[in-house]
Amino acid sequence: MSHGYRVVNWTPFKRRFDLWLLAGIGVYVVAFVSGTLLALPAGESFTPVQVLIRATGTLALLQLSFLLCIGPLARLTPRFKPFLYNRRHLGVATFVVALVHGVLVTLWYHGFGDLNPLVSLLVSNPRYDTLTGINFESLGLAALMILFVLAATSHDFWNANLGPGLWKSIHLLVVVAYALLVAHVALGALQSEPHPLYVLVLATGVAAVSGLQVYAGFFASGSVEPVRAGDDWLRVGPVHDIPDHRARVVEPEGAERIAVFRYDGMVAAVSDVCRHQGGPLGEGRVIDGCITCPWHGYQYRPEDGCSPAPFTERIATYRTRVEQGVVFVHRQPLPAGTRVEPTRIEGRPS
């Protein structure tokens, strides 16, 4: 969590992550350039700029593919949580790599004519009537513009001022950027040079992103208990079916999801939506007495839905009760920050 807005808010862990990230980018570029030059058939040659164009293009595709896999992987295994916490840094780095690729392409292929390089990029191939003849460079430019918007609004300032809902909707455009990038590669590089390795990289990336998103969607929805409208008290299930220090999520018809936590011999319920970026609190756990969001570590006290001082975020709370070992939660949310005594598992209602 961060209190207020700071130009730099790196923790030692984030500094190490960024150093490893930069080192990884450097190693990839060097390895790609070296491998390409060593593997050139006799009689063929590439300029250093052309090799860098391919290196940065493939790296941007790999980074964006991995970026879209982080969320599902973190839901399936906690090993990927460190990447989830630093997803913004990886996203900004992906934009920078894509920007370098775009600048190199524009200057190398469009920088020596009479037209402005950007104008030349857009009008040099005006064929949009056939799929294989489409101006694939314009697709890459559109993807780059989306990545710029996402990188520029990645700071907490924009999340707080746009609101978590709108901010998250904007950042879902990363899926559109990925689709444009895949089309850019498929209709561009693979048309002029359908090398098996490039085809394999693209196909593997698309399959991994699509498969993980679908699988994680089913995996996450399997933990949600849909509840029909009717009784105000919703049946959550047997108390010991809720993992210790974790939650079971119920979803009332037409209402927000509710995360019901069991911890320290008690049961408490709060909104499932984190105030930071709409993260799924029900997939987090209670750490040091606070519900901790699995996305970025934002915390809330289960008894009142308030973040510990000096933080000011608040979420809705719900009344709970336990009858004969079965947990119930009232469907009506209380105002954010309202204190509700947790229910003792022995059956004493809150």
Examine residue 51 and state whether it is found in any structural domain, yes or no. yes
Do 212 and 291 belong to one domain? no
Do 143 and 274 belong to one domain? no
Do 65 and 168 belong to one domain? yes
Examine residue 73 and state whether it is found in any structural domain, yes or no. yes
Do 200 and 95 belong to one domain? yes
Do 210 and 322 belong to one domain? no
Pairing state of beta strands 317-318 and 320-323? unpaired
Q: Which of 319, 287, 292 is nearest to 303 (CA)?
A: 319
pLDDT of residue 66: 94
Pairing state of beta strands 246-252 and 258-263? antiparallel
CATH number of the domain enclosing 126 = 1.20.120
pLDDT tens, N- to C-terminus, the chain (350 residues): 444 444 445 567 778 888 999 999 999 999 999 998 888 777 676 788 989 999 999 999 999 999 999 888 887 777 887 787 788 889 999 999 999 999 999 998 888 777 888 887 877 765 555 555 577 888 999 999 999 999 998 877 777 678 767 877 898 899 999 999 999 998 888 887 767 887 888 999 899 999 988 877 665 544 455 555 457 899 999 999 999 999 999 988 778 899 999 999 999 999 999 888 778 899 888 999 999 988 778 899 999 999 998 888 999 999 999 998 999 999 999 999 999 999 998 744 44
Examine residue 46 and state whether it is found in any structural domain, yes or no. yes
Q: Is the dihedral of CA 150, 153, 156, 158 positive or negative?
A: negative
49-82 as b/e: b if 16+ CB within 10 A: eebbbbbbbbbbbbbbbbbbbbbbbbbeeeebbe
Examine residue 71 and state whether it is found in any structural domain, yes or no. yes
CATH number of the domain enclosing 334 = 2.102.10.10
Instruction: Give dist(CA 250, CA 238) in Å, integer.
Output: 13
CA 290 to mean position of chain CA atoms: 23
Do 217 and 299 belong to one domain? no
pLDDT of residue 340: 95
- Domain count for the chain: 2
Choose one of 196, 221, 246: the last residue of a domain. Answer: 221
Examine residue 49 and state whether it is found in any structural domain, yes or no. yes
Do 59 and 197 belong to one domain? yes
CA angle 275, 277, 278 (to 5 degrees): 70
Do 198 and 339 belong to one domain? no
Do 186 and 39 belong to one domain? yes
Q: Which of 261, 268, 267 is nearest to 247 (CA)?
A: 261
Do 112 and 181 belong to one domain? yes
Choose one of 170, 202, 221: the last residue of a domain. Answer: 221
Examine residue 137 and state whether it is found in any structural domain, yes or no. yes
pLDDT of residue 11: 64
Do 109 and 179 belong to one domain? yes
Residue 282, exposed/middle/buried by CB under 10 A (0-12, 13-18, 19+)? buried
Choose one of 221, 256, 274: the last residue of a domain. Answer: 221
CB atoms within 10 A of CB 262: 26
Query: What's the domain range around 276?
Result: 225-344
Examine residue 349 and state whether it is found in any structural domain, yes or no. no
* pTM to 2 decimal places: 0.71
Do 31 and 159 belong to one domain? yes
Examine residue 105 and state whether it is found in any structural domain, yes or no. yes
